Structure 1
């Protein structure tokens, strides 16, 4: 199942944009992953947008039929500052537990990678395209890149949200993402959000840090039918994935929110003496 797992995990990070954030809000979401309609995984995602800082954390694992063949779990998180309305990541980490455990850590400053490590350190593969210093500049981490920010004053849930793209570095691989508008839909979570979402096509282009002959990479790069359905975090101009749809050789892979509880938080009042 390596191709399937790689495709579904990659779906969690196929978003990036750079535009001003606005106001403050929180999200507490729960997701289910299905393959050809069969449950294969569950996860959670918590996002907190304050006036001058933000944090995001996620966790998940295999379940159902897939767990019988390839059990695994993972956690990840990102923290950063909000400067002139923009999300500026500072710290990112991700840990995956399967037959072996692996932890990726990164620190960033002004969109550039200051330090990054993989523990345990993976063996050198001569077939892997090297990541240069240039590839580590002007990037976002995968978690921050999942927060789609929509500029302007109009309703953020609309076609303009899909006019985005950006560079992501996940600690191992540098890749580019591009979004294109497809359509509008209406969703209803079992708990929480009910309303419009904007559906974007997602295109993935690997740049460095990958092995060109890997089947999963070739498959994702060739896909033209990946969709991301974005819903808003209340009180902000930030959208996050409500649903992801990724074709796989074994059927359609779908990541969908079963809980999407979001609320605006009032701005802090400055203290006076």
Structure 2
């Protein structure tokens, strides 16, 4: 389950909360606070908080979460992940990405610095376990990539309908510090959704996972995600912008559907721009 969360749910968290930014804050200095839940087969497994600091040219996000409910009987866990960078020509350009996750006696501490889409520095603890069949990550795999959080944001060019099927035609290169993979979207349907920060249509896109490097091909979890054809992301627009973000992410697992969804969203002016830190 931890592997599915890292590759699927982690990529959706940033977009999940940014989707609540209303038109009056779209180009202002803004802070968003959100709560979210993760369920599996209808059973609550985790909950957390997310903050987003957003200015006209910079962004910073941080999420904190922990296991809850039935999951605590198997392995208590908690984690923090963050991303920051610039906003250039309407696009999110990451500069720093980090994730710390601890479950039971195991942990992962990963920090990555990115410049112009290329990974310049990477620190990972514990190091990836050597495996003779693991596909090696090369320098080429670390160029022209986004981190999982930034990769969940989708800017639609032009002035057309944001709910048009062709909006789903997206291909996103992701490097999470260990694995290089692509996420490809395809149109499925339109749904009506409602939360504290949004009420209206959502563009439902299928998600297809294609690993390129940093993985062992014969691993069951990797094969499962490659073959999966029922993963979905429900995209909604940030009001007043051409940016589409996930409202809901669904990943079927052998134990039932895994779902990440926002439960509470609050937007306020960003009081201190310095909190965004250096790019």
| 1:88 correspondence with 2:93 | yes
Q: How many residues align?
A: 258
- Note the aligned Cα RMSD (angstroms): 2.4
Tell me which residue corresponds to 1:260.
265
Counterpart residue number, 1:32: 37
Deviation at 1:59, TM superposition (A): 2.0
Which residue does 2:17 correspond to in 1?
A: none
Aligned to 2:182: 176
Deviation at 1:170, TM superposition (A): 0.3
TM-score, with length taken from structure 2: 0.84
Q: Deviations over 1:120-164 (max 9, x none)?
A: 334423232110001001100111112122222345344343121
1:70 aligns with 2:75: yes
Distance in structure 2 (CA, Å) of the matches to 1:57 and 1:219: 29
Give the SS at the match of 1:142.
coil
Query: 1: CA distance between counterparts of 2:32 and 2:262?
Result: 12
- TM alignment of 1:17-166, pairs within 5 A: 23-24=27-28, 27-98=32-103, 99-166=105-172
Report the secondary structure of 1:12's partner residue: helix
The question of whether the paired residues in 2 share the 8 Å contact of 1:227 and 1:244 is answered with yes
Structure number with the higher helix fraction is: 2
105-114 or 58-67: bigger deviation? 58-67
Superposed displacement of residue 84, structure 1: 2.3
Mean alpha-carbon deviation: is it higher for 30-39 or for 48-57? 48-57
Shift of 1:259: 1.6
Distance in 1 separating the partners of 2:199 and 2:265: 9
User: Using a 3 Å threshold, how does the CA distance of structure 1 residues 264 and 234 change in structure 2: closer, same or farther?
Assistant: farther
Q: Report how far residue 249 of structure 1 moved.
A: 0.5
Cα 1:198/1:235, change in 2 over 3 Å = same
Query: Does structure 1 residue 192 correspond to structure 2 residue 197?
Result: yes
Which whole-Å CA distance do the structure 2 matches of 1:74 and 1:54 have between them?
Answer: 21
Distance 1:158-1:42 versus aligned 2 partners, 3 A rule: farther
Unpaired runs of at least 5, structure 1 = 17-21, 269-273
Structure 2: gaps (5+ residues):
15-25, 274-279
CA distance change for structure 1 residues 179 and 14 in 2, over 3 Å: closer, same or farther? farther
Q: Is the 8 A contact 2:59 2:87 kept in 1?
A: yes
8 Å Cα contact 1:235/1:263 also seen in 2: no
1:218 aligns with 2:223: yes
- Confirm or deny: 8 A CA contact 1:193 1:261 kept in the other structure: no
